[in-house]
Amino acid sequence: MPSLEEGGPIQVRSSAASPSFARVTSIPVTLRSLIPVPHSSVSFTGTLTGGNGRALNTGQTAYYQIKVPAGLKALNVQVKMNNSANHMLAELVDPAGEAASTAVNAKASGSGSAAKLTAEPGTQLHVLSPSAGTWSLIVDFFDTVSGTAVSQPFTVTVSDSAAKATAAGLPDSISTLLPAGTPVTVNVKVTNTGKTPEAYFVDGRLSSQVTTSLAAQSTASLTLPNLNGTVPAYLVPSHTSSISAQVTAPASQFFDFAYPFGDPDLISSIGTTSSGSLTAPDIAAGDWTITPFLTGPTGAGAAPSVTATTSMSATYSAFDPAVAAPTGDLWQGATNASASFTPVVVNPGQSATIPVTITPSGSSGTVVSGTLYLADSYLIPGEVTFNALPGNYPEGSDVAAFPYTYTISSK
């Protein structure tokens, strides 16, 4: 199947101007092909062509489109190649332009900038209940590529099959009574049916929404003009429907705030207090960056240095404080930058069981409902961000969802 980018110029020969003069015109043509909607799965191949004339965060990019019907329960993509030395970023982008799943072909050991990334021959993407419409699959090869072959094929598999996962012991009825303060263990079992390792964690969310301030992942303040290239970052959790950012400084300024692996890239208002916001059904999860700039012109002299302070808040599905798991929860780092996170890595064809503890807390008769998500996680090298940021940036996608309901009872 041809990729979205395949094609080339077509030459048109015209002699209308003069019988003795022939004119040649080149018209660029791009072939656009849709990936067939999978009944169970569909596979096709693309080709990475070698070369060494590229910057760290740019390389060959293959674009594909998938027309997703209403009611699809899952959209899963695997990208696999023979040579893991080729660095690859893959994204599934929804019809509204938001990245719904982002991953690289690397397994992380450790966390943050100190993490060690081990190259893998491919990666996996997951979206639950994808919205109907035309989705984009982006396969972006970055950094230099291996010089052991002129070209290397890669295989893409698209599937609508649900993940092989269960949650034994999860309360699922309002008639289920759980005593306050008494822990209940739920065993979440997952089998990695893909061809590359995945790092799984558990994320418990309530049915209610909450709006709260996010924690700066590095620094919340910087000096303007920004001569040191400081870029404050905030972790936006999954299931976020609105974000709002603000910068204050003693001088007029504005800022750019963006999802660093593509769109959206937004601009703020201008002033000593500048602000910007975004509302969407499901905003791209992961680190968002805020980059302030002084308003010019500043005249013949250099602009005086001032301190700018950034902040960001988000509206998202509330974390359930009653849920705990040894993996920790990547997204709780959104409000606590030092929150522990140790996902369990499962190799292809292998299984793992994550013991999840639910300890009810509240008044007798209170009904609690939410969703226990099984999610995967990746650390994305900053060199593949659009502005080549330093460090690593966390990403995660829901793999399976298990609704739960219970009523709190007295002991």
pLDDT of 14 higher than 70? no
CATH number for the domain spanning 273: value is 2.60.120
When pLDDT is averaged across residues 344-368 and rounded to a whole number, the result is: 95
CA 95 to chain centre: 15
256, 174: one domain: no
122, 252: one domain: no
Question: Bigger pLDDT: 147 or 301?
Answer: 301
30, 140: one domain: yes
**Helix, strand, coil distribution of the chain in percent, nearest 5:** 5, 60, 40
Q: What is the pLDDT of residue 296?
A: 84
Q: What is the pLDDT of residue 214?
A: 97
Confidence of residue 35 (pLDDT cuts 50, 70, 90): confident
Confidence of residue 270 (pLDDT cuts 50, 70, 90): very high
Q: What is the pLDDT of residue 51?
A: 54
* Secondary structure (DSSP) of 81-134: ES-TTSEEEEEEE-TTS-EEEEEESEEEESSGGG-EEEE-SEEEEEEESPPSEE
271, 346: one domain: no
Model confidence over 212-230: pLDDT tens digits? 999 999 899 999 999 888 9
pLDDT of 20 higher than 60? no
Report the share of the chain in percent with pLDDT over 70.
85
Q: How far from 124 is each of 27, 39, 101, 160, 375, CA to CA, in Å? A: 37, 19, 9, 13, 12
Confidence of residue 25 (pLDDT cuts 50, 70, 90): low
Closest to 194 (Cα-Cα) out of 135, 120, 129: 120
Q: Which of 101-105, 149-153, 247-251 is modeled with the greatest confidence? A: 247-251
252, 202: one domain: no
201, 349: one domain: yes
**Is 346 inside any structural domain?**
yes
- d(CA 373, CA 133) in angstroms, rounded, equals 24
194, 322: one domain: yes
291, 347: one domain: no
DSSP for residue 349: T
**Is 50 inside any structural domain?**
yes
pLDDT of 271 higher than 60? yes
In the beta sheet, which residues pair with residue 103? 90
CA 297 to chain centre: 37
CATH number for the domain spanning 52: value is 2.60.120.380
Domain limits for position 260: 214-316
64, 168: one domain: no
155, 253: one domain: no
- d(CA 340, CA 323) in angstroms, rounded, equals 14
